[in-house]
Structure 1
């Protein structure tokens, strides 16, 4: 991770070391969120079968929400004084979500998205303590909202597998 910009130091009541640790956690969350965005969009394009219409629409709703989320996460990283990662290679290094090659069947797409959403929750949960220790309520709020969103999405997707 690049260091903070020294030309106009960030002075928001959170130490540079704490901001760095928070930015590292948020960068992993950004990578997971972007990877999930790509996977969801890919599945949206390629889903087939009896659930086509409902899954195609559901995936579109999800990747649209994720597009907003990646912007929110990246802007939070910038707000606390660090550059946001943005290359495929950086995301591949930082993400905990495996790439999907080939086109899985619709139910496998759903299962893979359950796993990926839960991975994002775990990544957000891992980043949470640093933000909480630093009294970074803005990052805590962002992490809480991301966990809530991905837990609910995983539940809804999992319900389709019954």
Structure 2
């Protein structure tokens, strides 16, 4: 094996003015973990939804999991940009996430409600990250968290609109 393949990534000192980059990175890592868990849950519901609103829910969840999958890369790259390591195992993702695993055999309405609740939970965590990032002089993470929060708030609203009585 060549020397170039023996390089192991490690945290770096990035002097961008962000105070306590470990704190910021840990907050972003939690959001990344939640994003991964919710992406999978959304995708699984997308595969298994049935009923008269199949087409609407199938398409809605497809747009949501595609957005979250792309966001995961952006979140991981933000962790690296502040000089820290992004989570590298599914075990770590599960440990850092507050999104609970899915139940089997849910109705379409239960799927939508569960996903809406998860999006709201993630939006709350993003609001906390916005505050932490501001305290640590990190406007880039503040902007990213604000953008992601807007997505999750809208996703919750759309899912709840599907099941409105």
Q: TM-score, normalised by structure 1?
A: 0.91
For 1:82 and 1:103, the matched residues in 2 are separated by 39
Task: Could you tell me which runs of 5 or more consecutive residues in structure 2 were left unpaired when the two chains were aligned.
Answer: 1-9
For 1:52 and 1:26, the matched residues in 2 are separated by 34
- Structure showing greater Rg: 2
Question: 1:5: which partner in 2?
Answer: 11
Question: 1:103: which partner in 2?
Answer: 105
The Cα of 1:86 is off from its aligned counterpart by 3.3
Superposed CA RMSD in Å reads 1.2
Indicate the SS of the match to 2:46. Answer: helix
Task: Could you tell me which runs of 5 or more consecutive residues in structure 1 were left unpaired when the two chains were aligned.
Answer: none
Q: TM-score, normalised by structure 2?
A: 0.90
The Cα of 1:119 is off from its aligned counterpart by 1.1
Please, which moves more after superposition, 104-113 or 120-129?
120-129
Please, which moves more after superposition, 85-94 or 144-153?
85-94
Task: From 59, 62, 69, give the equivalent of 1:60.
Answer: 62
For 2:146 and 2:21, the matched residues in 1 are separated by 18
Question: 1:79: which partner in 2?
Answer: 81
Task: From 114, 126, 132, give the equivalent of 2:116.
Answer: 114
The Cα of 1:87 is off from its aligned counterpart by 1.8
Evaluate the alpha carbon distance shift between residue 12 and residue 34 of structure 1 in structure 2; reply closer, same or farther with a 3 A threshold: same
For 1:134 and 1:41, the matched residues in 2 are separated by 34
The question of 1:14 aligning with 2:48 is answered no
Displaced runs of 4 or more, over 3 A? none
Aligned residues: 155
